[in-house]
Structures are given as structure tokens and as C-alpha cells.
Amino acid sequence: MTGKLNLDPAKVRQARDLAQRAGEPVTKLARTHTTASIERAVLRLAGLDGADADGMPWVNLLAEAVRDSVGLEHGVALPVWDALACGGYPDLKTLAGQAAAGQVKFRLPEGAEGRNAREHAARWVRKGLAVVDRQRAAREAMIAATRDPVPPWIYLIVATGDIYEDIPQAQAAAREGADVIAVIRSTGQSLLDYVPEGATREGYAGTYATRENFALMRAALDETSRELGRYVRLTNYASGLCMPEIATLAGLERLDMMLNDCMYGIIFRDINPVRTFIDQRFSRMVHARAGIVINTGEDNYLTTADAVDAAHTVVVSQLLNEYFALEAGLATWQLGLGHAFEINPAVPDSFLLELAHAQLVRELFPGAPLKYMPPTKHMTGNVFGGYLLDAFFNLAGFMTGQSILLVGMMTEGIHTPFLADRDLALENVRYVRDAAGRLGLSFTPDEFVVSRAHQVLDEAVGLLRRIGDEGLLNAIGDGTFGVTKRPADAGRGLDGVIERADGYWNPAIEMLEGTSPRASAVAGPNTEGDRS
Amino acid sequence: MSGCDGELKQVVRPYGDTTGDGRVQVSFTLPVPSVSEHDRLVAEGAALQLAGKMGLDPAFVAHVKAIGPDFTFFIVYGRVAHLVDLSLVTVASREFAMLSPAEVNLRIRSALGRKLVVVGACIGTDAHTVGIDAILNVKGHAGEKGLEYYREIRVVNLGSQVPVPALVARAAAERADAVLVSQVVTQRDAHLTNAREMAAAFRCSPEFAAGSALRRPLLVVGGPRFSPDAAAELGVDKVFGRGTTPGEVASYLAHALASEPGPPASAPEPARAEPAGTSA
């Protein structure tokens, strides 16, 4: 799968160097700050679950109480485990209840007491990470006992709002051929500064991401995986204000892939840029440990901007996502970089342009499990025309060796898919795969496709240079991505950003940073053939 | 009963390939199995029965396909006898035309010569920003991008639980052309009380008094429980109810604030009948 476009390796290297230059100052920010959600994620790893009578999670109440009393700039761990020891509370939940009632005095322990608090905190957090490790091993065992599907993995979405409706739909979709099930979240969950609790039966255009919902769906898909003799992966969204916590819950409950983009929340949800980058680094460290494949959201840029004019912004974002991901410890096989088939079909040679873009991305990131998104913007309500467009999308996906294929629905934009829509969509994929799955082998791009790919890469390098000169946060503030200006000092969640004090201590970060990327038998859906 | 003699096609039937042939196509799924031959015959019979009840006579099942063990998908062709009387067609009217984002931008550019400023908020104790975010965030809602996507609209989203005086002050500071307020919580009619309070605050505010430099912004409220014809009663300029899309709000703002000739008006809009549901 290499070398059809004859890309200049020096230029590719230059693009990566520029992405690193643009990203490094932001990484520094992430290393010197924490957020409310990162501190809550530590408590979640340490086993604190559940909520008070109003549904507010104990992790929020406890972290809030610590913040009110000694601040979070030293991390939540020292004051919490000191209070646990001093107050003689049997567990974190009891402490959280007392703290929420204003009954607990927190302090920053020193000397022997500090060492004691550290020791206990580390022990509890290590237990949580051991669960994450066990889940990763369980995934590997499940795959060994069943079978890893052949790429491209077929990715289907369910979203009824009710986890108990989602489950049979997901199982049916898996039986119909889906390799990956994504449960879309309820509208607006990304803006909640807490993770709802328990099994949920009501959502808006999606189902809430909760620990219990994760566990229920994973158990159901395990059952179906055994039935089918094929491991069915589960996906959700580590994004929004609770990104670090959701990533943690995903690791604890063995989700397999997570949507996790470095800039999506900033651009599309008006979440503070600094908060997003700090949260993102922690969440990616957890994903790295858990063996989770991340999916990035570059397809979104093409829904707001023109897919030809903005093609290079996709590449720029992919390179930034790659830099941030590798820096946080993810391995290349975990980088489900996103892109999409969104060129206006009325544009002459639109399919050739799509091939140029898809092939470029394939060659830029040969080891990454690329996620290819179907047309949405030019799905008009003419379901017959839409079915044809989806077939061309599938063809482009197979021809250019994409790794994760989100299945397009002919009724996109009309309603949430009917049962029959999903079945027809899978029939479309099967036809293209069986008829032309190996077409990529005999496809040689002509001059038009090659020069278009080169042009996009050149434009990406130009934009990366500008971003590096200007600073990534300034570029985002100027409206470089999407169409909206997102200044670094505005947006949601800024009040949850805290500069680390001297002596800041976070046992989870300490342990995760110490994690060397683990060699794994479970690879991503790579097209590189050689996966033993 | 033949369709259209001399009536200038006031009465029509579906057209397959011959005038008046009444041919249509439908597809649907029934929760019946069709795995075995017997099941399949039963399923096809069930599809024909449904088609008959829908008025397709004769009907012909062109395609039958099992979807898993419990469902069957059908494509059915048939002839309908129904007549469509065009004189009885009514078109829901909206006082403004639906515009595409490009058209909205163009209208604003040519009528105002600057960006249109929108300040949005959830007021009172309402913490549900889902509604205001669906309208304002780039992400948007129902396949339409939010107002932030519009190049010629500058959006200031204040988020939730904004006190009314703070909203008024911010609207003045931003020289807002329009204020969008979303209210989801309806306990003890809080949405109505809050909307009235907000309207009164803007109307009484010295910043926007007659003769002052600032014109009172257009006041728009929205939420799932509002009745769209309650604007006058609440003292606001426009009310949007359940299911409103960003494109509708943008089109309304362009209509009310950037109508082609003359200055922006927050006065009652002229009733202009436009077909509903034209593309956004």
C-alpha cells in the first residue's frame, strides 16, 4: 500500500516536524496544569462510583469539597487520602458524603503523614489501573477465542436513547455484519460537567455515556461475539468536559475504540481550548494503557467547510492529532485518524478528488487504522441517489485501503436509520467488497490524482508553518479551524483549569507516564497485512 | 372518474409512465420471518394485505428480503385509485422565507454592512443549555449548522443561569442586534415568568430608551414548551417552539433585521406567505 503517489519523504518529515513545533507549547501547558475532570478521574480510578440523591456523582462532590477547602492545585489525591486516614472513614464514598455535607476538613499533609497519604492513594489508584490492564488482557483473550475481523472494519451506529433498546439493535447489527458498534451519546452530554450514573433509558438523539451503560453493552456484545465467532468492538465518545473521566470508565469497562479528537470540543462545542488540550492528554494516556483505538474527528471540518477547499485542514488536524497522541503514549496502531467523503458530487471528477485525498491520508499514515466517514452533507433526501453515493464511498474506501469504514445510510439526514436502511447499507458494503475489494491492487492513480494529493500536502505544510509561527492557541483563536474563533480565555470549562502548584501530585499520571508502550498481540485494523 | 378533462389538471393521479395510471412504489419492513419458503409466502401475503389497505390495487411485491430471523423487507408497486384535488391543497405559511446560510450572510452584508450580533443565554435558574447550544453552536441541530457557522453573524453565547440584568448589560456592551433566550425548565411556568421579566427589563432599560444611541435588540425566546403565537403576550418579538432549527432562526433574523430596504425593524413583521419546508 505504499508509494502510489510518490510523496517526497523529506516533505512528509517536514510536515511532522511542523506539527510537533505547533503542538509542543500546548503539551507544556498540559504538563503544568490539571483540570477538575482529571482530578475526578483519579477518584474514579481509585474506585469511587455512585451519586447522591440528586444524581450528582460523588467524585464531583468530593473534588468540589477539596477545591473549596485547599484547592486542586496540589491534586486531589493528597488531601483526600490524608482525610481518609485521619477521619477513619471506611471508604471514599463515606468520605465524599461527609465532605459534601461540609463535615470534612482537608489539608495538605506533610512529612510522614504525606508519605502515608501517598502510599494509600497510590495503592488504590494502582488497583484501578490493574482493572484496566485486566480488561485489556480480557480483550486479547476474547479475540484469541473468537476471531479478529478482516479490515476494513464495518462500523455501525445505534442511538435510541434507551440502553435496553440499544442492546438488541446492536446485537442485530453485529449479526448483520457490523464489526464495530458505536453508541451515540445524548445531545449535549459533552457540555455536562459530570458523568451521569447508572443505566439510562432516556436521551436526546442518543444514549448517555455512563459506566453502567458501558458495562451492559460490552457484556451483550461479548455474548454476540462468542455467538458469531468474531470479536465485535464497542465505541463511545471521550470528548466534552468529562473527557478524562469517560476515558477512564472506557478503560475500566473495556470499550475498544473511543472518539477522541484534539480540537473537536473547542471548535464545535465551544469548550475552552486549554481545558480541552489538558484533558485530552490525560485521556489519551488512559487510552494508551487500555489498548483503546482512538478515532479523531476530522470529518467534522468537512461538514462546515468545503471538502475541496478545506482538504488540507484535515491533513493538518491529523498531523496534530498524531503528534499529541504519540506524545501521550499511544502507539501508531491506536490512531484511528478520521477523514470523510464529502465532496459535492456535482464537482467534476469529484470521485477522483476523493481518491486523491483518501490515498494521500493512507500513504501519510501507513500504520494507522484510518477511519473513513461516509457522505452526509450531500445526502439530499433522494435516497436512491444517496445509495449510489454510498456505493462510491465504499469503493473509495476499499480502493485506498481504509481501515474502519463507517457505513453510510441512504436515509442520512432524514431520520435515524430504519432497520431496513441498515440492512440495505450493509448489502451495499458487501457488494462493493465482494465485487471490487481488491481493486486497489490494480489501481494506479493518474497525473490528476497524484498532483491533487501533492497540492493538498503542500497546502497542509503551508498552514502548519503558519500555525507554528502564530502559535496553535492563537490560530484557534483566529478561526483557522472550522469557521469560528475560539480564544484561549473563553469557552466552557475554563474555571476547571488549574495551574499545578509546586508539589502537585497525581498518582494516575505518575503511573501512566511510567507506562512504556506495551507490545501487544492486538493490533488495529491495519491494512499492512503483517499482523501476527 | 377520470382525472383531468378540461379542468387544467386540478385533479391528478400519480404518474408511472402513462397519464392517470396511478402507479406508485413503497417500501416497508414487517416484523414477520421469511426464512423458510412457507414463512416467505405468509410474509408476502402480509405485505399484499398491507398494500391493499393502503389503497394499492392491484399491488405487486417486487422484492422480499429477510432481515435477520424476525423481520422482512418489501418493495411493493401498485396502482392507487385516489385522486388529488389541487384546489384543496393548503400550504402552511411562515411570515418569513427560509434562506440558506449563504443567502442569510448576503442579506446581512448588503443590509447592515457589518456583522449581525446575537447574544444568547439561558436565563434564571435554567441550566439546560441544550436548546440554545443547538441553535448557536457550530455543531448545530437536525443537520443544520448553528448560528456560529454563519460568517456574518457574531455570536456571544453567555451559557446558563444568566441573571437578566447581566444579559441586558452584555447586550448593550456588545451592541446586540438580537437577544436569544432559551428556556427549558417549565416548573411553575418559570419559562413564561422569565421571558416576561427579560422583555420588561429590555423595554425599561435606560440603555435602550428612545433617543439613546442603542436600539433595543430584537427579543427572541425559544424552548420546547413555548407556544409560537405567544410573542405579544410575553412582550417579545418572536417565540420559537419545539423542533426549531438554526436555519429557521437565522432566516428569521435576516428577515427581521436585514430586510432589503430600510433600517432594521423590530416592529411586527408583514405577513408574507411562503411555502413551509423549502430547503434550508
Which of A35 and B142 is assigned the larger pLDDT? A35
pLDDT of A97 higher than 50: yes
- Range with the poorest average pLDDT among A164-168, A414-418, A487-491, B6-10: B6-10
Summarize pLDDT for B166-192 with one digit per residue, the tens: 999 999 999 999 999 988 777 778 889
Task: Supply the DSSP symbol for B17.
Answer: S
Query: What residue in B sits closest to A418 (Cα-Cα)?
Result: B29
Catalytic residue from among A231, A237, A264, A504: A264
Our count of domains for chain A comes to: 1
Task: Supply the DSSP symbol for B206.
Answer: G
pLDDT of A27 higher than 70: yes
Contact check, Cβ <8 Å, A270/B145: no
Indicate the burial class of B128 (C-beta count within 10 angstroms; 0-12, 13-18, 19 or more). Answer: middle
Contact check, Cβ <8 Å, A172/B151: no
Contact check, Cβ <8 Å, A176/B67: yes
**Structure-block grid coordinates of residue B2:** 377520470
Residue of A303, A309, A378, A411 to mutate when probing chain B, most B C-beta within 10 A: A303
Active site residue A237: no
Percent over 90 (pLDDT), chain A: 85
The answer as to whether A58 is a domain residue is yes
Burial string for A305-344 (b: 16+ CB within 10 Å, else e) reads bebbebbbbbbbbbbbbbbbbbbbbbbbbbbbbbbbbbbe
Residue A429's φ and ψ, nearest 5 degrees, are -60, -45
- Range with the poorest average pLDDT among A250-254, A262-266, A459-463: A262-266
Torsion of the alpha carbons at A493, A484, A457 and A401, rounded to the nearest 10: 70
Cβ neighbours, 10 Å, residue B178: 25
Three-class SS of residue A79? helix
Residue A513's φ and ψ, nearest 5 degrees, are -70, -25
pLDDT at res. B127: 64
pLDDT of A112 higher than 70: yes
With cut-offs at 50, 70 and 90, classify the pLDDT of residue B126: low
The answer as to whether A373 is a domain residue is no
CATH number attached to the domain at B93-275: 3.40.50.280
Averaged over A31-49, what is the pLDDT?
Answer: 98
Contacts for B159 with CB less than 8 Å, ≥ 6 apart: A492, B121, B122, B129
Strands A497-499 and A33-35, by their bridges, are antiparallel
Summarize pLDDT for A470-499 with one digit per residue, the tens: 999 999 998 887 667 899 998 899 999 999
The answer as to whether A87 is a domain residue is yes
pLDDT of A529 higher than 70: no
Three-class SS of residue B25? strand
CA A192 to centroid of chain Cα atoms: 17
Separation CA A305–CA B216 (nearest Å): 34
Please report the ipTM that was assigned to this predicted complex.
0.83
pLDDT at res. B271: 39
Three-class SS of residue A503? coil
Summarize pLDDT for B14-31 with one digit per residue, the tens: 999 999 999 999 999 999
pLDDT at res. A218: 98
Closest-CA distance of chain A to residue B184, Å: 13
pLDDT of B163 higher than 90: no
Give the DSSP H/E element, type plus range, for residue B72: strand B71-80
With cut-offs at 50, 70 and 90, classify the pLDDT of residue A150: very high
pLDDT of B209 higher than 70: yes
pLDDT at res. B54: 97
The answer as to whether A435 is a domain residue is no
pLDDT at res. A515: 56
pLDDT at res. A414: 78
Beta bridge partners of B78: B24, B59
- Angle between helix A243-252 and A273-290 (nearest 10): 10
Distance of CA A243 to CAs A214, A271, B37, B71, B90, Å?
A: 15, 11, 51, 39, 49
Which of B229 and A121 is assigned the larger pLDDT? A121
Percent over 70 (pLDDT), chain A: 96
Domain regions of chain B by residue span: 11-87, 93-275
Pick from B230, B252, B227: which is nearest to B241 by CA? B227
Contact check, Cβ <8 Å, A483/B133: no
The answer as to whether A68 is a domain residue is yes
Contacts for A284 with CB less than 8 Å, ≥ 6 apart: A247, A260, A294, A324, A325, A328, A329, A330
With cut-offs at 50, 70 and 90, classify the pLDDT of residue A219: very high
Beta bridge partners of B217: none
Burial string for B257-278 (b: 16+ CB within 10 Å, else e) reads bbbeeeebebeeeeeeebeeee
- Angle between helix A273-290 and A311-327 (nearest 10): 60
pLDDT at res. B8: 62
Residue among B68, B138, B148 whose CB faces A176 most closely:
B68
With cut-offs at 50, 70 and 90, classify the pLDDT of residue A520: very low
Contacts for A273 with CB less than 8 Å, ≥ 6 apart: A263, A266, A473, A476, A477, A486, A487, A488, A491
Residue among A188, A270, A419 whose CB faces B157 most closely:
A270
Three-class SS of residue A352? helix
pLDDT at res. B262: 47
**Structure-block grid coordinates of residue A517:** 508502550
Contact check, Cβ <8 Å, A483/B67: no
475-514 in chain A: CB under 8 A from chain B: 482-484, 492
Contact check, Cβ <8 Å, A419/B71: yes
pLDDT at res. A364: 98
3-state helix, strand and coil shares in percent for chain B, rounded to the nearest 5? 30, 25, 45
Contact check, Cβ <8 Å, B138/A267: yes
pLDDT at res. A80: 98
Predicted TM-score (pTM) of this structure: 0.86
Distance of CA A235 to CAs A84, A100, B6, B31, Å?
A: 36, 33, 62, 28
Mean pLDDT, all residues of chain A:
93
pLDDT of A60 higher than 70: yes
Separation CA A463–CA B270 (nearest Å): 47
pLDDT at res. A2: 53
Pick from A170, A173, A197, A163: which is nearest to A61 by CA? A197
With cut-offs at 50, 70 and 90, classify the pLDDT of residue A94: very high
Query: What residue in B sits closest to A193 (Cα-Cα)?
Result: B127
Cβ neighbours, 10 Å, residue A74: 20
Query: What residue in A sits closest to B280 (Cα-Cα)?
Result: A380
Burial string for B229-246 (b: 16+ CB within 10 Å, else e) reads eebeebbbbbbbeeebbb
Separation CA A529–CA A401 (nearest Å): 11
Contact check, Cβ <8 Å, A420/B68: no
Give the DSSP H/E element, type plus range, for residue A268: helix A264-269
DSSP string, A42-66: HHHHTT---B-TTS-BHHHHHHHHH
**What does the longest C-alpha to C-alpha distance in chain A come to?**
74
Active site residue A11: no
Cβ neighbours, 10 Å, residue A246: 33
DSSP string, A122-184: HHHHHHHHHHHHHHHHHHHHHHHHS-PPPSSEEEEEE--S-HHHHHHHHHHHHHTT-SEEEEP
Three-class SS of residue A245? helix
Give the DSSP H/E element, type plus range, for residue A273: helix A273-290
The answer as to whether A226 is a domain residue is no
Indicate the burial class of B3 (C-beta count within 10 angstroms; 0-12, 13-18, 19 or more). Answer: middle
pLDDT of A289 higher than 80: yes
Averaged over B153-158, what is the pLDDT?
Answer: 92
pLDDT of A519 higher than 90: no
Chain A with chain B: Cβ pairs closer than 8 A: 55
Which of A34 and B276 is assigned the larger pLDDT? A34
With cut-offs at 50, 70 and 90, classify the pLDDT of residue A524: low
Cβ neighbours, 10 Å, residue B181: 28
Residue among B28, B73, B130 whose CB faces A423 most closely:
B73
Beta bridge partners of B240: B222
Which of A208 and A418 is assigned the larger pLDDT? A208
Which of B161 and A251 is assigned the larger pLDDT? A251
User: Hey, is the C-beta of A28 within 8 angstroms of any chain B C-beta?
Assistant: no
Distance of CA A262 to CAs A20, A314, A456, Å?
A: 14, 12, 21
The answer as to whether A295 is a domain residue is no
Averaged over A225-250, what is the pLDDT?
Answer: 97
pLDDT of A518 higher than 50: no
Beta bridge partners of A273: none
pLDDT of B279 higher than 50: no
CA A256, A261, A262, A268 torsion: positive or negative? negative
Three-class SS of residue A86? helix
pLDDT of B63 higher than 90: yes
pLDDT of A339 higher than 90: yes
With cut-offs at 50, 70 and 90, classify the pLDDT of residue B227: confident
Separation CA A404–CA A362 (nearest Å): 12
CATH entry 3.30.30.60 includes domain B11-87: yes
Q: Which domain holds residue A42?
A: 35-126
